[in-house]
Amino acid sequence: MHKTSAAPSGLVAPALKLGAPERLVGLGFRLWLSGLNTGDISYWEKAWCAYSSSMGAQAAKSAVRDLSCWVRAIRHNSRRNLETAAAGCDGFCRDECVAIAMIAACQHEACPAMRACAFALLGCSMIDEVVGGAESFARTLQGADRVLSPVAANTSALLSLPAASALRH
């Protein structure tokens, strides 16, 4: 079972310290995973609205398609409980920050950091599908001029934090 927490144990990144592309990735991850976990389509509608208002409907179609594939792959392959902050929360929890870092690492060709993010999110070594999804999503965002900061790819501080939740059985 995957966990979506309204009050994660601690917010890692306040909203004001992240740029618009980072916020878009973090919010997309949160909303898509919440929709998958609850079956509530309103989360996916909120993600669509955020992406279409940020990049226009045409670019958003590709971005949301790739976001969906990436988040589904994470959820399917994860061997640990994933945590997200509440839909309206301004900050991002550890798993959301690691997801942001993964896309930033893809865009800036920081393969070791990107792979470390995949391992951290999944809690296992079965990362190929997730890596492929992240690379596709990162390219789509880059093509829409949504480039994350290379600083966002630095996961060393994030990975030193305790895991957001326990392994699932």
Could you give the number of structural domains in the chain? 1
Per-residue H/E/C for the chain? CCCCCCCCCCCCECHHHCCHHHHHHHHHHHHHHHHHHHCCHHHHHHHHHHHHHHHCHHHHHHHHHHHHHHHHHHHHHCCECCCCCCCCCCCECHHHHHHHHHHHHHHCCCHHHHHHHHHHHHCCCCCHHHHHHHHHHHHHHHHCCCCCCHHHHCCHHHHCCCCCCCECC
94, pLDDT greater than 80? yes
pLDDT at 157: 47
36, pLDDT greater than 90? yes
pTM: 0.86
Residue 148 structural domain: 15-159
Instruction: Let me know if residue 51 belongs to a domain.
Output: yes
Instruction: Let me know if residue 1 belongs to a domain.
Output: no
Per-residue pLDDT band for 153 (boundaries 50, 70, 90) equals confident
